[in-house]
């Protein structure tokens, strides 16, 4: 049930913020700004220093927030995946598919969302239990790829990351994606220490998501 509940939380968030950071403090504050602004899905990437500690601290900070969903990103191997899961990561995201990471996530009943660029990669990922497949980079494959995939694989749950912004987010959902990943367009100001702008960006993304959902 844990895995199903997490997947439902991820889909409900609608937007997953891809949080990086040159320092532990920057990444943590960027994640907090996103959650406080209404973007409750956080992919804390392992390119950030002490990523596992940040995940653990965010989990503690938002333990009473039923909508907050904290996961780990840029997970390249099963060792990193296990470190993330032990820190409390609710889902694992990778830029590419790795079957050993998939098997570990299955063992712990943690959703695994690997980056894929071809139908073959997506089919392989799904055969290893990936409930949501990340299309990455979305800016390269484009929205038409979602339509093309949905023809032979109508049951595929897709999350585009890279190339998603406030202006085109509705188009991705119209193509049939279940959730979108937002990176620099959302959290970019954190690099300059402007966490208030990150919060404002998150509010704008949340408001746009509510509008999209209201249209059905």
* pLDDT tens digit sequence for 167-201: 999 999 999 999 999 999 999 999 999 999 999 99
State mean pLDDT over 36-58: 98
**Of residues 9, 29, 43, 90, which has the active-site annotation?**
43
Q: Which domains does the chain have, with CATH numbers?
A: 2-113+162-170+178-210 (3.20.20.70)
- Told to judge if 43 belongs to the known catalytic residues of this protein, a careful annotator would answer yes
Query: Exposure of 187 by Cβ count < 10 A (0-12 exposed, 13-18 middle, 19+ buried)?
Result: buried
Length of the chain: 216
pLDDT digits (tens, 9 = 90+) for 105-144: 999 999 999 999 999 999 999 999 999 999 988 999 999 9
- pLDDT tops 80 at residue 216: no
Q: How confident is the model at residue 2 (pLDDT cuts 50, 70, 90)?
A: confident
> How many Cα atoms are found within 13 Å in the side-chain-facing hemisphere of 20?
14
d(CA 96, CA 117): 9
pTM above 0.85, yes or no: yes
Q: Active site includes 57?
A: no
Q: Which of 9, 29, 40, 134 is catalytic?
A: 134
The mean predicted confidence, pLDDT, of the chain is 96
Distance of CA 194 to the CA centre of its chain: 22
CB 133 within 8 A of CB 125: yes
Query: What pLDDT is recorded for position 205?
Result: 98
């Amino acid at each position: 049930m844990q895995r199903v509940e997490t997947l439902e939380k991820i889909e409900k968030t609608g937007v997953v913020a891809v949080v990086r950071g040159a320092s532990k403090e920057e990444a943590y504050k960027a994640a907090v700004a996103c959650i406080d602004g209404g973007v409750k899905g956080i992919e804390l990437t392992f390119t950030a220093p002490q990523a596992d500690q940040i995940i653990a601290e965010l989990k503690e900070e938002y333990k009473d927030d039923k909508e907050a969903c904290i996961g780990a990103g840029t997970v390249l191997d099963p060792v990193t995946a296990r470190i993330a899961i032990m820190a409390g990561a609710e889902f694992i995201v990778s830029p590419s598919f790795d079957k050993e990471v998939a098997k570990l996530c299955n063992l712990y009943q943690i959703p695994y969302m690997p980056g894929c660029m071809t139908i073959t990669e997506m089919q392989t990922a799904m055969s290893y239990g990936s409930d949501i497949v990340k299309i990455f980079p979305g800016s390269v494959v484009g929205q038409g790829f979602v339509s093309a995939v949905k023809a032979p694989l109508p049951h595929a749950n897709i999350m585009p990351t890279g190339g998603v912004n406030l202006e085109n987010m509705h188009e991705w959902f119209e193509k049939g994606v279940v959730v979108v990943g937002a990176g620099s367009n959302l959290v970019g100001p954190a690099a300059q220490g402007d966490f208030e702008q990150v919060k404002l960006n998150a509010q704008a993304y949340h408001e746009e998501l509510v509008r999209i959902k209201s249209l059905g």
